[in-house]
Amino acid sequence: MENLTVADLMTEEVVYARENDSLDVAYDSMEENKIRHLPVVDSERNVVGVLSQRDMVAAALFSKESLPFSQVRDYLRNTTVAEVMSRGIETTDPEETLREAGLKLLENKFGCLPVVEGQKLIGILTESDFVRYLSQMEQSAGQGLRGHLKTG
């Protein structure tokens, strides 16, 4: 994994949101694509933030009004991505090593890193990408990782 870069593992076809999208549109997009994170981009596809399922749940649960479950969809429909998304987020570039990117995810407890050239979104690297890679590596090696993993 030492010689691999973010470009080797990232997902290039990124589903993203815009700041003025409603949360119900973002939620539906996440459900449809079976993803937990949406990079948020401006009109030039520059990354301005990330919206996660966790952000949406926190916003719904800790909104100023306690909403009955039946009104959650109305809340999502009437709240924009910009109101809930995380700003000032960490990104990575395609040439960064997987080790460096993985450490960013682990040390900061991030679920994803938008991959950018300049500020323009070109991909996304997620925890799932690492799990998929390790699963494929184990399968192709024909042996378990048990002997290679450090036990705590």
Name the residue ranges covered by the structural domains of the chain: 6-141
Q: Could you report the per-residue pLDDT of 93-139, keeping only the tens digit for each?
A: 999 999 999 999 999 999 999 999 999 999 999 999 988 888 888 77
Q: Are 101 and 129 in contact (CB under 8 A)?
A: no
The pTM of the full predicted model, rounded to 2 decimals, is 0.82
61 versus 46: the higher-pLDDT residue is 46
Write down the CATH number for the domain with range 6-141.
3.10.580.10
